[in-house]
A and B are shown apart, each in its own frame.
Chain A
Amino acid sequence: MWNHNKGNRDPARTNHRLTGKSCKTRSIWKSLRSLLQKDFRMMRSGKFFAVALGSLLLYTLFIHFAYVRFMDMEIYQVYLYDPAGTQRNVSPLVHPVASLEEMDRILHKDANSVGIHVTDGKPEVSLYTASKKLDRHRSDYALSLLHPGGKYTPETVGGNNLEQKNRRDITCELLFIEIVAVGFLGIASVLFKEKQMGVMRVHAILPLPKSLFLFSKIFLFLATDLVFAILLVLCNVGLSGTGKILPGLLIQTTILSLVMALTVFGCAMILKDFRQFSLAYLVIALFVTAPVFLSANTSIKMTWIRFHPFYHIYMGLKHAFFGIPVANPLYYLCAAGAVVLLFGIVKTAFCREMEKEG
């Protein structure tokens, strides 16, 4: 407690001392409530919620009217030329052709289809339009039809039909993009606005724990992401599907949201202005999304991807969308460690920002 030398001071300054732990706790809650209200207003005036709502609408329209219809295409046709008749147990989905010329004509016409030419008992796959790395799954699918039950037979995960699977896939990707790229930018704009006003420095001399200033913002950003995730999933996966995957989904969204919010907070404290941030944003967004999407959604194999932290977070999110629990305690331990470490870095950067002037 500080001494009070009352002297000729007016009564308003005396008898105000509150003591005890409960008063401190009450004061912290009161401070937190003020910070939350102010941050909510800052986010509202920065059109943060409007942008999130716009994204939700846009994603939902895209999934309903574009993605699901576009992805509702027929599976690749598989054509087999086996003049010696060596392949006996082929799937009924395989269409035999009488000659190589006929197969050539069909593959020219339908570039997505797959041709198999068997010579001396060995199947050779022909793809007319394909990438050597990207289209392995098409040849694997064709070979799996040639030998049902063999080594190429795909494993069936979950009981979703094609549309349900597509909806979950794209909703997961859009949620990831929203948090990593769109929301990330929105948070940065709110933080830089506050930084440029200089008001963060005033908090250095206010009687409140400095961590509370960070906590309030992180809490609101997280809450917004969670509400966004729930609404996006409700609109695009459906009510019954959402109930089953929600707990896992909220956990994975929380991890991703916290990591991104703290990253952008750190950037806002370290970088001078939004212009500098926009360059950093390109690097961060590309670093986070490009290799993760390529590795998780295509046949491109990158051996180093297991060292990419966002790959594991993305896969956690993806697993959550398909109701597969992430049971590895190391993953959660690393996530918690990353959040604590980032919070420490952000707090240090915030304290340095408060020391600045002008």
Chain B
Amino acid sequence: MMEVKNLTFSYGKEKQALHGLNFSVEDGEIFGFLGPNGSGKSTTQKILTGILKGYGGTVSLFGKDLSSTHTQDFFEEIGVLFEFPYLYANLSALDNLRYFSSFYPRERLRDVEELLDELELKQDFRKKPVSSYSKGMRQRVSMARALISNPRLLFLDEPTSGLDPSGAVLFRRIIEKERQKGTTVFLTTHNMLDADLLCDRIAFLVKGNIAALDTPKNLKEQHSNHRITVEYLHQGRRGEQTVEPTELKAGIPFAYDELLSIHSQEPTLEDIFIRYTGRRLS
């Protein structure tokens, strides 16, 4: 689906944003691209979506070199959700979607009303101007715009930003549904929970370099100290002990009356990111 080799890009002579990125994304995979502000995430996404030209290295999408075969057909195959909900404020959600969908072949379009139902946009608002919408509602319409053409490759930039927790859960469900349909998703985010729950693989981008690339599970395992913390009650007193997993083979290796909890000492993705980069995400 996507193959990026030695990707470089500079804004002017002295500001190199990307320093030779190498990664590939498989068909139907959700690939997470994580990094702090200014790390080169947006630049990479702009190159992959055909907005930015003049890059170095090779980018191959759908089996074709992006620089040599960049045509309108390519744009028919992709859907892009920008970080900000760019919509015509004077038009309604329905008019916005009808307008943006008018550039795609009719055969591949999804039904606008069905899509808005799926995104749970309130019926009363659909014919009202977008200027009267909350940020979350705009984000839902933007997501509908990205999905309207049934894209094979979906670029999502901070999809859950501006959404309340139930909205975020809904978006994750929709992204998961897209994966089940066979859509490849390139997810750019600061949100570690999104990355952890959704992504098959993630890449940590720092100062235009990929610092780590693997599945969330592998990354966590690799950086785990493989210790387990046990909380217990013994003779009416609360206690806590950390043990090696091998110590548990023969049972709990200390006296207790009641076990309260058992936690593995697995790091979060953010912990791993900080270990790689020395920086927090936001």
Contact = CB atoms under 8 A, between A and B. Distances in A.
**Which applies to chain B's interface (DSSP): helix, strand, loop or mixed?**
loop
Interface string B60-98: 001110000100111111101011101111110000000
B140 interface: no
Contacts of A194: 88
A160 interface: no
A34 to B, nearest CB: 4
B107 interface: yes
B108 A197 contact: no
A293 B90 CA distance: 39
B46 A355 contact: yes
Given A205-B78, A209-B72, A18 B27 contact: no
A358 B83 contact: yes
A20 B46 CA distance: 29
Interface stretch (B49-57, B236-244, B245-253): B49-57
Interface residues of B, number: 44
B119 to A, nearest CB: 17
A206 B75 contact: yes
Interface stretch (A5-13, A142-150, A224-232): A5-13
Given A12-B108, A13-B150, A15-B107, A205 B86 contact: no
Contact of B64 (A3, A8, A31, A354): A3
A197 B63 contact: no
A204 interface: yes
Contacts of B49: 204-205
Contact of A197 (B62, B69, B89, B150): B89
A287 to B, nearest CB: 32
A31 B102 contact: yes
Interface in A3-32: 3-5, 7-10, 12-13, 15-18, 27, 30-31
Nearest to B28: A7
B278 interface: no
A205 B50 contact: yes
A37 B74 CA distance: 25
A198 B88 CA distance: 9
B88 A16 contact: no
A8 B181 CA distance: 7
B136 to A, nearest CB: 17
B20 to A, nearest CB: 21
A199 interface: yes
Sorting the interface of chain A by its residue count into under 10, 10 to 19, 20 to 34 or 35 or more gives 35 or more
B181 A10 contact: yes
A29 to B, nearest CB: 12
B191 interface: no
Contacts of A30: 102-103
A92 interface: no
Contacts of B46: 355, 357
A208 B49 CA distance: 14
A2 B77 contact: yes
B49 to A, nearest CB: 5
17 contacts: A2-B62, A3-B62, A5-B27, A7-B27, A10-B181, A16-B108, A27-B72, A34-B103, A38-B88, A41-B90, A197-B87, A198-B82, A199-B86, A199-B87, A204-B50, A207-B74, A357-B82
Interface of A: 1-5, 7-10, 12-13, 15-18, 27, 30-31, 34, 37-38, 41-42, 45, 194, 197-199, 201-202, 204-209, 354-355, 357-358
Given A12-B150, A38-B88, 19 more contacts: A5-B1, A7-B27, A7-B28, A8-B182, A9-B152, A10-B181, A18-B107, A30-B102, A31-B103, A37-B99, A45-B90, A197-B86, A198-B82, A201-B86, A202-B80, A204-B50, A205-B50, A205-B75, A357-B82
